Structure 1
């Protein structure tokens, strides 16, 4: 009944191949929340009913699967394991939905819904985002119970099936079930480590919202010889409109999109954090805000991206002036940017630069607000100390993730401090073909989380008032 025994238990689980076989079963569910087909929605329900519910019930959780109040969203599972009214309560979270599988786009020999092992990599849709991550946390809870006979704290869990479509319905569920989701802290996992071999902890996330810019100038497409110089070119107009949003190196020019929250304390937290390395692409030193460090650009500042852009028929161009052009765009933003003002601010900016004919169409999916917790918060200190004890090495601590999560629902509705311990890495190809996890990272993450959960049940934890 020791901390080392719990870590040894979860190590055996990994080395015996059980983690890999368990993950393979989870990956086999084609739970694509971005796919509106009835079959995909049925898979999301099956994931909760067949893969999650029996495992959590065997772990002593009382569970309920509920319908999403938003018809665009998938079901949710709420569960709790209560050991004592005087014990601390930990809320954890995961999402079993994935982006589209993108069948036919994966490298030869790989399939999205089947685990394929190649060296230290396990390929499959959801391995990194997020099935592998919440499996690690559940297995770590199992290891502590198997070793100690109890957790030493109460646990609540939320598993949703709509994160990849903006966590639609999650805020409404949290409002309706707030009394059943009270806790001292959220400890969950999503996103990547900064470097595969070094654990990472972050306490918030950038917000994100997507929208289309559309220019329509005339009906149909018309011969470029007969009409060139007479008809406005929508692709040209759209290109110039995009060019007024940022400069040539991507520095944002919309005044309200330039945050004022990059304080000295945030700069200090980001100092010396690595953003290069691993298997990801090489960082472009000449892109983004010129006066910021690479870490400040991605964790402490806003970034604007054109996700896709089209005019005419790119796969079969003809000598004609198209009547339309469209760009799908995204703003990732930090604390200090009002999400409700993102689109209005852009409208004012485009109008001021003479682009009144450029339409802005907000996407139907929701957006995540930006959140951030001080790295000096007692729960951040507690979890960080536990991770360092297990790993015996450094820990990368971020005020917020560069990506976006539904963290605002936990901070703003449930009023919780939030600690995220990611179990993937930045080169994992999440949201793309060839998604994968690293086996050594998964083995290390299992130990880290077993240590964290053991310590919560064995040591004094921060009081709820903090």
Structure 2
């Protein structure tokens, strides 16, 4: 049997309507992990969909309670073919964000897949049921083409709480580190760089959210009677913000700036373009760090964002000096940023610039990860994708957004290869979420080829990596 036959099997699985039927059934589970009353449905998705599919593929399965009380369960499935064979860990999540049923376009519902041209509408089609369904179907295609053998060992980890921040995932992987041991992670989530361009990304930017607050007094006071006498917290706060990030978005706090972009990252981003797709906003070329290209600014650098800002009553302003003001901010950052000391850097900077009265409250953070673009696993994956598609693969050293990749890269110590099957305008997390049929079809072909190649030459790749 041949690689081409594995790809043909995957293509037939799409063209026959079998893939659509699988996805429609899975989308029908209302796995909204943000809703406590969906706990039974989260478990039912694993027991009713993933376990039967994994066992049909020859995996031994086990479902575990989450170490965080009330969080969604997790599944580990294992298929072992030989002690001398490489092992791949495949990750996905079966939970989705809230359906927001009444906000979808007329004739659409979040819980049934509806096909309109290239678009397959339904909650989870893009994030993440469609993506892990592609990977499971690709495994089946390789098994069919290789007479019931993959040529490698495979482990599957499906969580049911990614949309609530993956509670318990890191602790779970610490506890089950041996059971989840592998040579490489191959997973699918997030969007391609563009719908028609196959993409590999190797990690994700980290993020940390924090509040800047200024509480000066009890109650507001009339601006005519007290204007010019009382310090306005909104005025102080916006000036404090202006000391942190300038008018074109350049970060002014040295400790919050990343190290220089590595040469391997610059090379990977050299042929990348950002935006330009349907529904994409126009890129502001005069925004952000000077001297960087747009791809370098979003994939290779840090960004400081003010997500919300409030003082007084914006909906119904009154002639009064507000008593307090706050800004809700976020730092997106790349590997090498000393993000865990963010509060200290902010405190030192604000004090030095005359703003000791501004309080800092750090809320949460997630680390940045990035596999070296020159890693042998990356070279292997790119060659596989390009052999299948005949297209040049976009290689992103990391996503601009954030995934729980640190659990795989740091806790489990794995090189991480992400092959996304969605695209930027998929309305992920919004009403009218959709998967593009042509991207899903090509994704099935890509993954069948990638898993076939894993069985053919992964030992050589693992040996080259040392």
The TM-score by the shorter chain falls in which range?
over 0.9
Change (3 A) 1:457 1:74: same
Write the distance in 2 (CA, Å) between the matches of 1:89 and 1:402: 28
| CA distance in 1: counterparts of 2:201 and 2:419, whole angstroms | 7
| Partner of residue 389, structure 1 | 387
Name whichever of 407-416 and 37-46 sits farther off. Answer: 37-46
Evaluate the alpha carbon distance shift between residue 410 and residue 219 of structure 1 in structure 2; reply closer, same or farther with a 3 A threshold: same
Of 279-288 and 293-302, deviating more is 279-288
Q: CA deviation at 1:224?
A: 4.0
Q: What is residue 400 of structure 1 aligned with on the other side?
A: 398
Gap runs ≥5 in structure 1:
none
Match of 2:303 in 1: 303
Q: CA deviation at 1:297?
A: 0.4
Maintained 8 Å contact 2:256/2:339 = no
Deviations 1:249-296 (CA, angstroms, capped at 9, x unpaired): 111111111111402232122112111222222211111112111111
Cα distance 1:86–1:351, how it changes in 2: closer, same or farther (>3 A)?
Answer: same
**Aligned equivalents of 1:74, 1:88: Cα separation in 2:** 30
Change in 2 beyond 3 A, CA 1:325/1:265: same
Q: What is the rounded CA distance, in whole Å, between the counterparts of 2:81 and 2:169 in structure 1?
A: 27
Partner of 2:61: 63
Cα 1:283/1:460, change in 2 over 3 Å: same
Q: In the TM superposition, what whole-angstrom CA distance separates every residue of 1:356-397 from its partner, at most 9, and x where no partner exists?
A: 23222222x5x3211112222111111111111100121111
Residues 49/322 of structure 1: CA separation in 2 closer, same or farther (3 Å cut): farther
Q: CA RMSD in A?
A: 2.1
User: TM-score, length-normalised on structure 1?
Assistant: 0.93
Aligned counterparts of 2:70 and 2:255: Cα–Cα separation in 1: 31
SS of the aligned residue for 2:286 comes to coil
Task: Note the C-alpha offset of 1:227.
Answer: 4.2
Aligned 1:248-397 pairs, distance under 5 A: 248-279=247-278, 280-363=280-363, 365=364, 367-397=365-395
CA–CA separation in structure 2 for the residues paired with 1:223 and 1:103: 45
Task: Go from structure 1 to structure 2 and tell me whether the alpha carbon gap of 1:330 and 1:42 turns closer, same or farther (over 3 Å shift).
Answer: farther
Q: 1:391 to 1:413 in 2, by over 3 A?
A: same
**Any idea what SS the aligned residue of 1:193 has?**
coil
Structure 1 residues 30 and 237, CA gap change in structure 2 (3 angstroms): farther
Q: Unpaired segments of 5 or more residues in structure 2?
A: none
Residues 127-206 of structure 1 correspond to what in structure 2 (within 5 A)? 127-148=125-146, 149-206=148-205
Aligned length: 462
Q: 1:120 aligns with which of 112, 118, 122?
A: 118
Q: 2:52 maps to what in 1?
A: 54
Question: SS at 1:457's partner residue?
Answer: helix
Structure 1: how far apart are the matches of 2:203 and 2:83?
28
In structure 2, the partner of 1:463 is: 462
Indicate the residue corresponding to 2:8 in structure 1.
8
- In structure 2, relative to structure 1, the CA distance for the partners of 1:345 and 1:74 (3 Å cut) is farther
